Amino acid sequence: MKFHCEKNALFEALNIAGRAPSRSGMTPGVRLSLEGANLQISGKDSDLLIEVSLQVMGIEDGTVILPSALTTNLIKSLPEGLVEFTSDDSSAEVIGSRSKFIIQTLLDIEPPFVKSPSGDMVTVNEESFKEGLRQVIRAAAKDDARDVMYTGVLFAAIDGGLRMVATDGMRLAIRDIAGMNVLGAEAEVIVPARALSELEKVLSYQQNPSNHLSVEIGSKDAIFNIGDISLTTRLIEEKYRDYRQILQASYPRRLIVEKKAFLESVRRLRIMAKENREVTHLRMDIEEGSVKLSVRSPQVGQATEDIDGIFVGESFTIAFDPDLLLDGAEGVASETVAMEFTEMNKAACISNSDDNSYTYLLMPIRF
């Protein structure tokens, strides 16, 4: 195989495709396949496939598999300009400016990633979808969670739109996107949060925001296409537990705070909390007209912040994990944050102050 292309374009394609292979086990590989002027770069593991198409100056068709991280880092290190790439069965030669690298190829011993699409391809609003991912992914459990269901994000058809739901047991995030009909009526699937996290990064990388995002969700796979990038992921074939039983129609206490001021205060107090691992909570003393935020550690010190707020209900004290509280407030799309409470040992609700498209339920911490 032989081709020429711009260094930056090759690096970006390798960097995106190389995010798919798992970092555990064998050396992660990335596949380069050239046909004419089209170079397809793909990375995969058992559940995720990322493919990037790149137009190059093709000289000789072929396919090669190279170590993902090594190849990407070497291309990144080259000066800007044209890169010459040549490969045979045992090695690949990369020449850029006055630099030359020879990289040993990897054997193609992994089973192919077979797509099994069975849904309809639907074009959706990229910005709305990306915002929804940003709001809910952080609430999903990590890959080492005991229940694999919680490592995914529920996609559910609701009122002609899409509902995204994620939880790790301490919090629950919900985002409703009106008019985004990517599933059949009353259909539900669970998409791995890791795949959606990579998709969110891909969407953030895009320099052309006018690119349309296409979504195809079948019975076993979900496919997302944006520009020259395609991401395919296996679905989690389990039934999502009923989360609706913990949703409340109303709360006896409601607080409205300015988002920017609240986020800045929580971030500062989090610095103090992180200095002592035994201090895991941020306390909120709430009364009419004001909110006092505080973190106290006998070994380190203490920090307090007073911010303005509009509060309806009886005076109240509650405490949260500052990281989880910050995640919830950062997801709010309005300029003010709405927080609603029942009791100090019951989940609080964080949402936009002007609509109900985003809901973040957070369990408090005893203090």
Considering the domain architecture, whether residues 239 and 147 belong to the same structural domain is answered as: yes
Is 116 domain-assigned?
A: no
The neighbour count for residue 92, using CB atoms within 10 Å, is 19
Domain match, 309 and 236 both: no
- pLDDT value for 262: 98
Of 245, 272, 307, the position where a domain reaches its end is 245
pLDDT of residue 99: 94
What is the side-by-side strand order in the sheet with 310-312? 188-192, 152-158, 161-167, 171-177, 358-362, 348-352, 336-341, 253-258, 310-312
Domain C-terminal end among 245, 267, 292: 245
CATH number at residue 95: 3.10.150.10
Q: Do 183 and 266 have their domain in common? A: no
**The pLDDT of residue 364:** 96
Task: Give this prediction's pTM.
Answer: 0.91
Total domains in the chain come to 3
Q: Which domain holds residue 166?
A: 121-245
User: Which mean pLDDT values do the consecutive 10-residue runs of the chain (367 residues) have?
Assistant: 97 96 77 98 93 97 96 96 95 95 89 74 92 96 80 94 96 96 88 96 74 88 94 94 91 97 96 76 93 88 94 96 97 98 95 96 93
Residue 112 lies in a domain: no
42: in domain: yes
Q: What pLDDT score does 279 carry?
A: 65
